[in-house]
Copies of this chain bind each other. A is one copy, B any other.
């Protein structure tokens, strides 16, 4: 099926809002095996909308609109779409009741103008709105379809999933399913090299991508049903995992923090953090995950040397001799967090996020990370290579990701963490 997307809203033409609906719907339609030929944005202008719909209906089988379903006079998407198929608007009683109920639940009086939102083109398949007042719908004539959805993403996503998607699935002859194998600590080209001849497969296809310091392999299959597609994909993901080993930290959306929290829970271990340049970002990312309290109780942000000493017990001699950004201080910070918290494992980060360096000649982007269980440890020196204007965010994000990954590897590769920390600290 050929599709076009029409986004209605002067606020989009003025740049007041970012059009995330475009990406959302394009992805969903690609997964249904539909071809999206055009995306178009028009203002709240019935003449221009008519023009766009007319052209679209000549070229394509399905048009999806978002926006212009509000209660004001400007909001005319439904009216214009109905007129394309010469359909009158009629009051849809169930929708009217929903609009009334929506206001009742908020204990607010319903403005008369909201009634208009319950008007529907005759014969439309109506989609209810669980997150707002504007229902959506699908209308059809001579094999051409117009799907009318609200503009606010919260409302549109839910309505698409529950209403439009089941409607569209009937017209889908095949599905396209993708899974992403997410890796950490390997560049895109080296990852691609390890994937080797898998990249030449036809169904599923395997394609490498790089994204904010991570590399991933996307495995995409085309099949008649979801199950068939998953069956094609599973062995390929298995083979990729074989080849990449612990470089793979998750499949699909799982963020690094999700992977680490899940691993700690599985191993029944608790974690503490001691952060300097990341300034709380690691703790924040861990506690982004619901249920993090099972494995996380204590984080220390020791942004100044005084706090590194007074709260984490880092010896002033180490700070003076090696500077705050050093292997010795990272190790000592981790040990201090472990002691202060009583956690099983502690991770520390100290580095120079930029834009300015500290008062040493160390480069912006130099970061030391230490992980310890009080006996063994793992130390990582990171040079992000980023010192340009605006590097601060990048350096902090990457440092936090690498630190989380080091925790993961510390736990997974216990055998290789055999150094005795007391003698290590003494060696400085």
**Would you call A283 and B304 a contact (CB within 8 A)?**
no
Beyond A279-B284, A279-B292, A283-B280, is A39–B13 a contact (Cβ under 8 Å)? Answer: yes
* C-alpha gap A234/B257 in the complex (Å): 46
* C-alpha gap A279/B273 in the complex (Å): 11
Beyond A23-B15, A25-B15, A39-B41, is A293–B287 a contact (Cβ under 8 Å)? Answer: no
* C-alpha gap A81/B116 in the complex (Å): 44
A37 lies within 8 A of chain B by Cβ: yes
Contacts of A281 in B (CB 8 A): 280, 284, 287
A384 lies within 8 A of chain B by Cβ: no
Proximity string of chain A (339-364) to chain B, C-beta cutoff 8 Å, 1 when within and 0 when not: 01110000000000011100000000
**Would you call B15 and A18 a contact (CB within 8 A)?**
no
- Other than the known A12-B22, A38-B52, A298-B311, what 15 A-B pairs have Cβ atoms closer than 8 Å? A13-B26, A13-B37, A14-B26, A17-B23, A18-B20, A37-B48, A39-B41, A273-B301, A279-B283, A279-B284, A280-B301, A281-B284, A283-B303, A287-B301, A300-B311
**Would you call A41 and B38 a contact (CB within 8 A)?**
yes
Tell me the A1-52 residues at the B interface (CB within 8 Å): 12-15, 17-20, 22-30, 36-43, 48, 52
Contacts of A310 in B (CB 8 A): 340
Closest partner residue, chain B, to A356 (CB atom): B290
**Would you call A290 and B355 a contact (CB within 8 A)?**
yes
A393 lies within 8 A of chain B by Cβ: yes
A110 lies within 8 A of chain B by Cβ: no
* C-alpha gap A277/B28 in the complex (Å): 35
Report the minimal beta-carbon distance from A75 to chain B, rounded to whole angstroms.
18
Contacts of A25 in B (CB 8 A): 15
Beyond A15-B27, A18-B23, is A287–B279 a contact (Cβ under 8 Å)? Answer: yes
User: Could you name 14 residue pairs across A and B whose Cβ atoms are closer than 8 Å?
Assistant: A15-B29, A37-B48, A38-B48, A38-B52, A39-B41, A279-B284, A280-B284, A280-B286, A283-B284, A283-B301, A291-B356, A297-B302, A299-B299, A311-B340
**Would you call A39 and B26 a contact (CB within 8 A)?**
no
Beyond A36-B13, A280-B281, A311-B340, is A290–B26 a contact (Cβ under 8 Å)? Answer: no
By secondary structure, the A interface counts as: mixed
Report which A residues bind B (CB closer than 8 A).
12-15, 17-20, 22-30, 36-43, 48, 52, 273, 275, 277-284, 286-288, 290-293, 296-304, 306-307, 310-311, 340-342, 354-356, 392-393, 396
Contacts of A306 in B (CB 8 A): 297, 342
Closest partner residue, chain B, to A28 (CB atom): B15
Closest partner residue, chain B, to A304 (CB atom): B297
* C-alpha gap A341/B308 in the complex (Å): 11
**Would you call A24 and B15 a contact (CB within 8 A)?**
yes
Contacts of A30 in B (CB 8 A): 14-15
Q: Which of B40, B273, B298, B396 contacts A302 (CB 8 A)?
A: B298
**Would you call A15 and B26 a contact (CB within 8 A)?**
yes
Report the minimal beta-carbon distance from A220 to chain B, rounded to whole angstroms.
10
Contacts of A278 in B (CB 8 A): 284, 287
Contacts of A17 in B (CB 8 A): 23
* C-alpha gap A36/B30 in the complex (Å): 28
Report the minimal beta-carbon distance from A9 to chain B, rounded to whole angstroms.
11
* C-alpha gap A360/B20 in the complex (Å): 39
Contacts of A29 in B (CB 8 A): 15
Report the minimal beta-carbon distance from A178 to chain B, rounded to whole angstroms.
10
Q: Which of B20, B40, B307 contacts A341 (CB 8 A)?
A: B307
**Would you call B41 and A12 a contact (CB within 8 A)?**
no
Contacts of A300 in B (CB 8 A): 298-301, 311
**Would you call A393 and B287 a contact (CB within 8 A)?**
no
Contacts of A19 in B (CB 8 A): 19, 22-23
